[in-house]
Amino acid sequence: MNSGLRAPLENTIKEVSVDCVMFGFHADELKVLLLKWNNTEWCLPRGSIFRQELIAEAASRVLKETTGIEEVFLQQFHTFGAADRYKNNSADQNAQQLHNKFEARVDDELFHESLISIGFYALVDFEQAIPKLTGSYQWCEITALPDLSFDHNDMIELALVALRKDLRYLPIAKLLPQKFTLRDMQKLYETILNRKFDRRNFHKLLMSYDFLIKLPEKKIGTANKSPHLYQIDLEKYETALQDGISY
Amino acid sequence: MNSGLRAPLENTIKEVSVDCVMFGFHADELKVLLLKWNNTEWCLPRGSIFRQELIAEAASRVLKETTGIEEVFLQQFHTFGAADRYKNNSADQNAQQLHNKFEARVDDELFHESLISIGFYALVDFEQAIPKLTGSYQWCEITALPDLSFDHNDMIELALVALRKDLRYLPIAKLLPQKFTLRDMQKLYETILNRKFDRRNFHKLLMSYDFLIKLPEKKIGTANKSPHLYQIDLEKYETALQDGISY
């Protein structure tokens, strides 16, 4: 055993980057932030990990550098292998060209010809999180994505799978405004899970956990009635998440 | 943007390895496979990723090379950063020494002084999966782990968190023998989740999914009664897992 520790260095050297799938939720819509790359293609915010930098620190820094957005909830969800990324994508000429571009830069035989990328997803309210950058960007609906650079379409798909799983365990309801209605929360769940809940059952389910605080205020300006506003008791929410929230 | 693509190479080079947390379940017990390393310490099976190798292929190969065990269910769960691994572990002299050992080998300034490791967990029946190797090994109960090399204690902890989440979504019941009783399945859930279920409610829950096939046979040799044996309809199980199994 321990062959790993004795393996020749040239087998183990990789370029490692982080890629961020930034989900934005607002008014019942789930979107992803795309950046213009190379003036022709769209891609996710991405960048390298520096020496001595924690992986999670790198993700925050990259997001800030590429979008101007900071202090968001970031969650690592999957690591994408170099070989995986291009092998499965051989029909994708753009990816192949980019790949060759990387290659051309790397003339030391020791360097691996490909990349490993650690995928993170972020969650924001896309009306609040305004990118500050010189290049073009768009918030694109997850159901209407263009062909992206690299393997970024696959990445978004896997990030969404992770987000769906994490809804039970991570404080994803923080995506809601500080005060919200039960309908808002239902829509958040429905949008992420891409399925409908019966209103009455869903509300009963939510209230079976004790992390929702009913406020005396009501939401005004809605069409028919004025529903109650709620806020989250974060401590109780965290406790409920430890076992997973069933729905 | 695109700063990542233009970042100097020396910032992006890492050694990348895979580490395998091999969970074994048998007779209501959950254990982890540990290997003797350096004649003094215990650690997880680990090794490097080769050129052109898919990450998942590397995990299978490493597990086979280090333990002789193959064709097991392997699931990527988290990637551990180099800096994270030693910063948080500075009190750990062993880890520090190993770290220095790596350092000593690496004299090119371009090489990063630390490692990135992609964590996988595997699932087997530990009575069936017999390691074939010359060094020592042990199946250790997850509640009684010794101090392991590197950050392997943290890794096992996170693998267990991932396993608990994945129980809703991944075919983890494949860990059971082909024919099993509802009690066996309840024990699998209870052991992984570290909590008790009410027998009647749990059985009712299981039967509310239609992936369990009740067999005409009964289990013999048990103390009091002869419970029915079941098997899994894999196709229906996969369908149920897509939405997540609630418990």
Taking an 8 Å cut-off on Cβ atoms, the answer to whether B2 and A37 are in contact is: yes
Residue in B with minimal Cα distance to A37: B2
Task: Enumerate residue ranges in chain A where pLDDT < 70.
Answer: 1-14, 51, 82-114, 222-224
C-alpha angle with apex B94: B92 to B96, nearest 5 degrees?
70
The beta-carbon neighbor of A48 closest among B11, B169, B243 is: B11
Q: Closest approach of chain A CAs to the CA of B126, in angstroms?
A: 19
Please report the pLDDT score of residue A13 as a whole number.
54
- Give backbone dihedrals phi and psi of B89, rounded to 5 degrees, phi first: -120, 20
Average pLDDT over residues B114-120: 84
What's the whole-model pTM score? 0.80
Q: What are the residues facing B75 on neighbouring strands? A: B121
Say if residue A23 is exposed, middle or buried (CB neighbours under 10 Å; 0-12, 13-18, 19+).
buried
Distances (CA, A) of B70 to B76, B119, B124: 16, 17, 10
What tokens were used for A69?
A: 């957005």
For chain B, say whether A78 makes contact (Cβ under 8 Å).
yes
Q: Is the ipTM of this complex over 0.95?
A: no
Q: Which residues of A touch B246 (CB under 8 A)?
A: 246-247
Inter-chain CB proximity B66 and A3 less than 8 Å: yes
Q: Is A55 on the interface with B (CB under 8 A)?
A: yes
Task: Enumerate the residues of chain A whose CB falls inside 8 A of the CB of residue B113.
Answer: 51
Question: Mind telling me how many Å the CA of B11 is from chain A's nearest CA?
Answer: 5
Across the interface, of B1, B35, B116, the residue whose CB is closest to A133 is B1
Residue B84: its pLDDT value, please?
Answer: 46
pLDDT at B82: 56
* B145-198 confidence digits (pLDDT tens): 999 988 899 999 999 999 998 998 898 887 888 899 999 999 999 999 888 999
What is the dihedral angle through the alpha carbons of B112, B114, B118, B122, rounded to the nearest 10 degrees? 150
pLDDT in tens, B41-56: 999 999 988 767 788 9
Q: Do strands A46-48 and A13-26 pair parallel, antiparallel, or not at all (unpaired)?
A: antiparallel
Quote the pLDDT of residue A8.
42
Cβ within 8 Å, pair A15-B13? yes
Strands B115-124 and B13-26: parallel
| Chain mean pLDDT for chain B | 80
Q: Which of B9, B13, B89 to mutate to test the interface with A (most CBs of A within 10 A)?
A: B13
Do A48 and B12 lie within an 8 Å CB cutoff?
Answer: yes
Give the chain A residue whose CA is nearest to the CA of B1: A66
CA distances for B49 relative to A12, A112, B54, B67, B115, angstroms: 6, 11, 8, 17, 12
pLDDT tens digits, B217-247: 988 876 667 789 999 999 999 999 987 888 7
SS3 B236: helix
Pick B84's closest partner by Cβ from A2, A54, A244. A54
Look at residue A54 in the predicted model and tell me its pLDDT.
83
Question: For residue B64, is pLDDT > 70?
Answer: yes
| Residue matched to tokens 């769906």 | A164
Q: Do B76 and A81 touch (CB under 8 A)?
A: no
Q: Say if residue A93 is exposed, middle or buried (CB neighbours under 10 Å; 0-12, 13-18, 19+).
A: exposed
Asked whether B74 and B120 are in contact (CB, 8 A), the reply is yes
Does B55 reach chain A within 8 Å, measured CB to CB?
yes
> Cβ of B26 under 8 Å from any chain A Cβ?
no
The pLDDT of residue B224 is 61
Quick check: A1 and B195 CB within 8 A? no
Across the interface, do A49 and B12 touch by the CB < 8 Å criterion?
Answer: yes
A51/B1 Cβ within 8 A: no
> Which residue of B6, B10, B16, B197 is the best one to mutate when testing the A interface, meaning the one whose CB has the most A CBs within 10 A?
B16
Q: Give the mean pLDDT of B116-139.
A: 89
Note whether A12 contacts B16, CB cutoff 8 Å.
yes
Residues of B (144-203) whose Cβ lies below 8 Å from A:
164-166, 168-169, 195
* A103 part of contact set with chain B, CB < 8 Å: no
C-alpha torsion sign, points A86, A87, A92, A93: positive
Angle at B46 between CA B74 and CA A7, to 5 degrees: 130
Residues of A in contact with B14 (CB under 8 A): 13-16, 49, 116
DSSP character at residue B110: T
pLDDT at A28: 84
Q: With beta carbons under 8 A apart, name residues in chain A contacting B11.
A: 48-51
Partner residue opposite B51 with nearest CB, options A1, A11, A168: A11
